[in-house]
Chain A
Amino acid sequence: MATGIKDRVAILGMGCARFGERWDASAEQLMVEAYTEALADAGIGTPQIEAAWLSVAFDAVNIGPSGIPLATALRLKDIGATKVENYCASGTEAFRGAVYAVAAGAADIALALGVEKLKDTGYAGLPVRSRGTTLDMIGVNGSAPGNFAQLADAYGAVHGVKRPDLKRAMAHVSVKSHANGAKNPKAHLRREIDLDTVLNAPIIAEPLGLYDCCGVSDGAACAIVTTPQIARSLGKRDLVTVKALQVVSSNGWESQASEWNGSYLHTTRVAARRAYAEAGITRPREELSMLEVHDCFSITELVTMEDLHISAVGRGWTDVLDGTFDADGALPCQLDGGLKCFGHPIGASGLRMLYENYLQLLGRAGARQRRQAPSLGLSHNLGGMPTQSVSAVAIIGLA
Chain B
Amino acid sequence: MAAETGILAYGAYVPQRRLQRAAICAAHAWFAPGLKGLARGERAVADWDEDSITMAVEAARECLAGINRATIGSLSLASTTLPFADRQNAGIVKEALNLSDAVGVLDVTGSQRAATSALIQALHAAAGAGRPQLCLAADRRNARAASEAELIQGDAAAAVLVGSGDPVARLLGTHSVSIDFVDHFRAAGEPLDYAWESRWIRDEGHIALIGKTLGEGLKRFGVTAGEIDRLVIPLPNRGVAEAIARAAGCRTESVADNLVEAVGDSGVAHPLLMLASALESARPREKLLLVGFGQGCDLLLFEATAAIGRMSRRAPLAASLARRQPDENYLRFLFHRGLLELERGMRAEAEHKQPGTTLYRNRRAVLGLLGSRDTRTGAVQYPPAELSVHTGEPTAGSHEDYPLADRPGRIVSYTADRLAYSPSPPLYYGVIDFEGGGRLVTEFTDASSESIAVGRMVRMMFRIKGIDELRHFTKYYWKAAPVR
Contact = CB atoms under 8 A, between A and B. Distances in A.
A387 B429 CA distance: 12
Given A137-B362, A256-B389, A257-B390, A142 B420 contact: yes
B412 A262 contact: yes
Contacts of A127: 346
B428 to A, nearest CB: 9
Contacts, number: 125
Interface string A118-137: 00001101011010011001
A141 B430 contact: no
Nearest to A152: B415
Given A146-B427, A150-B431, A257 B381 contact: yes
A134 B349 CA distance: 20
Contacts of B389: 251-253, 256-257
Nearest to B438: A258
Interface in B425-460: 426-427, 429-431, 433-434, 437-439, 441-443, 449, 454-455
- Interface core residue of B346, B437, B438, B443 (most chain A CB under 10 Å): B346
Contacts of A142: 415, 417, 420, 427, 429
B358 A137 contact: yes
B378 to A, nearest CB: 12
Contact of A141 (B350, B365, B418, B433): B350
Given A138-B383, A206-B426, A257-B381, A146 B415 contact: yes
Given A251-B389, A258-B438, A146 B419 contact: yes
- Interface core residue of A141, A149, A263, A387 (most chain B CB under 10 Å): A141
Q: Is the interface of A mostly helix, strand, loop or mixed?
A: loop
A141 B441 contact: no
A205 B416 contact: yes
A145 B390 CA distance: 29
A255 interface: yes
B249 to A, nearest CB: 57
Contacts of B222: none
Contacts of A93: none
A73 interface: no
Q: Is the interface of B mostly helix, strand, loop or mixed?
A: mixed
Interface residues of B, number: 49
B462 interface: no
Nearest to A144: B419
Contacts of B347: 123, 128, 143
Nearest to B449: A206
B351 A130 contact: yes
A260 to B, nearest CB: 8
A125 B350 CA distance: 14
A127 B421 CA distance: 11
Nearest to A205: B417
14 contacts: A122-B346, A133-B358, A137-B359, A137-B362, A137-B465, A141-B443, A142-B420, A145-B417, A146-B429, A204-B417, A206-B449, A251-B389, A256-B382, A261-B412
Given A137-B465, A146-B420, 14 more contacts: A125-B419, A128-B350, A133-B358, A137-B359, A137-B366, A138-B365, A138-B477, A140-B443, A146-B417, A149-B415, A157-B454, A205-B426, A255-B431, A256-B383
Interface of B: 346-347, 349-351, 354-355, 358-359, 362, 365-366, 379, 381-383, 385, 389-390, 412-421, 426-427, 429-431, 433-434, 437-439, 441-443, 449, 454-455, 465-466, 475, 477
